[in-house]
Structure 1
């Protein structure tokens, strides 16, 4: 039976659903409506267009065979009628029509539908501060804004910039402005860390240190209070709670809000944060109306709570599920884990599942295994350290999350993607320890880093390994009086440990090389709680086991070792 399908929104979920529908039901009438003139573009590629990695904006709109996805493409190649510069005004659920308006002519009309898809996306949150409407202040709302930003930079109109917001888009834009164009760029974030709620604090701090090393000053726990006017209606600076910053370009990247006004006004169920409520078939509270993309509330697979996950990859998957169900092929979208990855200059940071702090807040018996293995075989040229953190529940042994930080290569994405697949299926520590990973020295170690992280977690769960919390250790180094019985047992080569022994004194930092502990353990001063330190933590665990065997069980391992510490911005490191 022939049907009329109307899709509101033509960026990611909408086009995916439309094209899939025409493959399943080529006799149906599918109409896409979008208020913009530019449609079906890769919004996540905008920072790379600004940076110059993507040379032309049309590449973000092109297919893999270099055809621009515009109205003619969708109608001629896909059989999908597309109305651009057309705004959806209201949904009449009883009459099953959508009132639309052509933004150029002002003409209004009703589009009848048998089934309707809302793919209205999300809109950037603009800070309600003075000067937000000045010329030179941008939010990354659409491709038009990105084109204008790049145009101004290329014309030499931008020498100093401030990016407000330390999430992924803000960080990527700060890199884009700095790396290719040499714009002096400052990054502001209101929260105590970058990437809040995405990674734990120490991972955010590793990223922050790298950004600062790449000449991007980062100010956390600091908010913009006013955007300054040069007297001619253009922005010339940013006033914060602590300083004033010069800027002829300001980018607001402080998050997005779902565009759910149409749904709410039509009487559909919407969450308190604005996400349109859908079931696993992506149906709204009206079974004839579906929703997908950045406008919907999705279910977190670990907590069971509704969440916002504005990613183009998810939007495309959701659009396909919508099309399948509209066409009569039962399909489900079961939820999200919040998998995330990004590059920042020469580094990569990624995560999936829950952070340690989030897991604890959700009531899990959470702990974490922190490791710092090489990203490929240790003997292979150009191998580099990667920091991994496996978050797990001690009671159920279920893995809850994985975070990673390292060089910009594919070693991190492979491990985080594997973790996402296992976590989605309820994977345990043992599943992670046994998962088979493709091996060759240019790609990994014989014992893969994801397996090794699981082994550490297993040893912790079975009470064979006792770790010191990283934040607690860092606090102690700043004020050793808070734990007067603590002392470091440094297993590294004397050339590495000696400067710290001299700095802190042998009563607080005792050097005894790994290979000599078995013969010289009697030299360890009594009455100490030893914090055992090496480069990665592996040797520290072995020495803890040995000391336990001797009845000296008052010790803790600094998991990840100095490989982790050296990547943090701590002022007591000895060069």
Structure 2
């Protein structure tokens, strides 16, 4: 009986993982990898760091952990896999079980037979669909070839100004890559009202945007690109938006990707309305002899219970192992995702899992969001820094729906988000997170970790003990130019409060929390109170004291002054610094 032949179309992330897993389990299987590009099996998520110079040599993205280059020769000699690059798959004949391919160097076409087939065709960059998007100097960075082209273009020294169209993750990463190392004057254009839409809620996204502004990146939101034209001579290009004209020497388009499913569709396989290949939990397509995974398929979101498109290299690798196991005769399933995500934006780590508050509302949940600002390790430990962590919960069931956060110690943040992500498939409640066991040592965590503290805060809000106001509502009400009766009750020490009292006068009242019971008569009784401290902890204590005294028209500013500063809402010179993590 001849050995099984498995053909894999696509050799970046999922394809090589399938091939290597299968060969380990079935060494006698004949495995053929086909890819139309020159470069195969590379770390695509490292592209921004290659452009920035953090990764100096492109071969590092193509190398194994033991420094072997993953090229066709590597797969042939080391893995026993026949890899054919610069070979395009043209069509699939499911009846004959053959694939028509073309050698892109010679133009020769041939049919390759298969017993089982894997589609790892990935995704395609979306087009802007505006005049001028094909001009020289308008580029994208969706694969290694395009990344090399961008870096070579920048290296010519002709790029002084760059415009990035798209304010999602890749756009933010590219802004850092261009401005941080190369010193390029960089602008991001987004057509939504925030950066990182769908990943972060508005108040968290605002903090990230403020950080980018501090690093010299201009961010313009709610702007649609109308046209790209040649420049007037000083700069090569001009981007015309719904609001302004921007000169540029380089334009990078980063407006998302779509599933590359044309082969599957033409072969009669089931494809979803959004264009992704439909698979079952074993990652089989509507043809049981054809599997698919990675950026060309839909996956089940385990929080919403709906299918979604989530292009991520980490998913492709995990799905590749599932497919390899099943091809070898095993039984493995990929049950779905909770949508975990992380990105580095200059000095900030940004991470999320589950769904945002806005998505939760759209999905019919009675969503409540809770923001806590706390030290990421013991407040007395020298390397501690503030972490901003937000939970999204359902008010009726107290089910945890998602979490997101930012922190300068990004690895500490990602560790917390990963812990929450591991719980989400099991429909955890706030009680589960409040009592989640966390390994404690002062260099790594607080005795009451921020994940526990945030769950506790959410419980207090749902129970009616903590009545919050977020930073956007604070800005709308307290900083409004229209007259209103809102007063800030600052329960920090006098040195911290003094600059705010000086700026806002009678609208900013300072009574330290530890003296509040004795000075309750000084609290304005006929005003709406926003109670504030550095991070929201002492202000919660003060809120309980006020309610006990019969003063119920008071709200606690979530995240306190730390959140207001991080959002760019309050910036005062000369303010005394207090140990915010000690509250």
Q: In the alignment, what sits opposite 1:450?
A: 451
State the 1:479 CA deviation: 2.2
Contact 1:138 1:250 in 2 (8 A): yes
Question: Where in structure 1 do 4 or more consecutive aligned residues deviate above 4 Å?
Answer: 571-575
Write out aligned runs for 1:97-246 (5 A). 97-230=98-231, 235-246=236-247
Contact 2:344 2:410 in 1 (8 A): no
Matched residue SS, 1:566? helix
> Using the alignment, how far apart are the partners of 2:409 and 2:35 within structure 1?
36
State the 1:102 CA deviation: 1.0
1:533 correspondence with 2:532: yes
Matched residue SS, 1:418? helix
State the 1:111 CA deviation: 1.3
Matched residue SS, 1:294? helix
Contact 2:564 2:570 in 1 (8 A): no
Please give the TM-score of this superposition, normalised by the length of structure 1: 0.96
State the 1:154 CA deviation: 2.2
> Using the alignment, how far apart are the partners of 2:176 and 2:45 within structure 1?
14
Contact 2:491 2:510 in 1 (8 A): yes
Of stretches 526-535 and 328-337 in structure 1, the one that deviates more from structure 2 is: 526-535
Q: In the alignment, what sits opposite 1:554?
A: 553
Contact 2:231 2:247 in 1 (8 A): no
**Per-residue Cα deviation, 1:76-107 (whole angstroms, up to 9, x for no partner):** 11111111111111111111111111111111
Q: In the alignment, what sits opposite 1:287?
A: 288
Q: In the alignment, what sits opposite 2:432?
A: 431
> Using the alignment, how far apart are the partners of 1:534 and 1:15 within structure 2?
53
Contact 2:471 2:563 in 1 (8 A): no
Contact 2:227 2:240 in 1 (8 A): yes
State the 1:325 CA deviation: 1.3
> Using the alignment, how far apart are the partners of 1:227 and 1:171 within structure 2?
21
Contact 2:513 2:541 in 1 (8 A): no
Are the structure 2 counterparts of residues 230 and 460 from structure 1 closer, same or farther at C-alpha, using a change threshold of 3 Å?
Answer: closer
Matched residue SS, 1:372? strand
> Using the alignment, how far apart are the partners of 2:356 and 2:535 within structure 1?
21
Matched residue SS, 1:202? helix
**Per-residue Cα deviation, 1:106-140 (whole angstroms, up to 9, x for no partner):** 11111111111100000111211121111111111
Q: In the alignment, what sits opposite 2:423?
A: 422
> Using the alignment, how far apart are the partners of 1:499 and 1:70 within structure 2?
62
Contact 2:525 2:551 in 1 (8 A): no
Are the structure 2 counterparts of residues 420 and 95 from structure 1 closer, same or farther at C-alpha, using a change threshold of 3 Å?
Answer: same
1:510 correspondence with 2:514: no
**Per-residue Cα deviation, 1:326-348 (whole angstroms, up to 9, x for no partner):** 21211111111111111111111
State the 1:480 CA deviation: 6.9
Contact 1:126 1:139 in 2 (8 A): no
**Per-residue Cα deviation, 1:147-202 (whole angstroms, up to 9, x for no partner):** 12112222312222111111111111110111111111111111111001110011
> Using the alignment, how far apart are the partners of 1:18 and 1:478 within structure 2?
60
Matched residue SS, 2:273? coil
> Using the alignment, how far apart are the partners of 1:334 and 1:28 within structure 2?
27
State the 1:361 CA deviation: 1.0
> Using the alignment, how far apart are the partners of 2:240 and 2:481 within structure 1?
38
> Using the alignment, how far apart are the partners of 2:485 and 2:182 within structure 1?
52
Unaligned runs of 5+ in 2: 575-583
Matched residue SS, 2:131? coil
State the 1:438 CA deviation: 1.8
Contact 1:189 1:222 in 2 (8 A): yes
Of stretches 486-495 and 559-568 in structure 1, the one that deviates more from structure 2 is: 486-495
1:91 correspondence with 2:92: yes
Contact 2:353 2:420 in 1 (8 A): yes
> Using the alignment, how far apart are the partners of 1:489 and 1:230 within structure 2?
53
State the 1:235 CA deviation: 4.1
Are the structure 2 counterparts of residues 311 and 275 from structure 1 closer, same or farther at C-alpha, using a change threshold of 3 Å?
Answer: same
State the 1:65 CA deviation: 0.7
**Per-residue Cα deviation, 1:309-332 (whole angstroms, up to 9, x for no partner):** 111000000111111112121111
Matched residue SS, 2:427? coil
**Per-residue Cα deviation, 1:536-559 (whole angstroms, up to 9, x for no partner):** 111111111222222323322112
Q: In the alignment, what sits opposite 1:336?
A: 337
Q: In the alignment, what sits opposite 1:370?
A: 371
Contact 1:338 1:352 in 2 (8 A): yes
Unaligned runs of 5+ in 1: none
Q: In the alignment, what sits opposite 2:499?
A: 499
Contact 1:500 1:574 in 2 (8 A): no
> Using the alignment, how far apart are the partners of 2:470 and 2:160 within structure 1?
43
Matched residue SS, 1:532? strand
Write out aligned runs for 1:242-321 (5 A). 242-321=243-322
Please give the TM-score of this superposition, normalised by the length of structure 2: 0.95
Aligned length: 572
Contact 1:137 1:235 in 2 (8 A): no
> Using the alignment, how far apart are the partners of 1:155 and 1:67 within structure 2?
30
Contact 2:375 2:386 in 1 (8 A): yes
**Per-residue Cα deviation, 1:237-291 (whole angstroms, up to 9, x for no partner):** 2222222222111110110011000111111111121111111111111111111
State the 1:55 CA deviation: 0.8
Matched residue SS, 2:298? strand
Contact 2:123 2:259 in 1 (8 A): yes
Write out aligned runs for 1:17-56 (5 A). 17-56=18-57
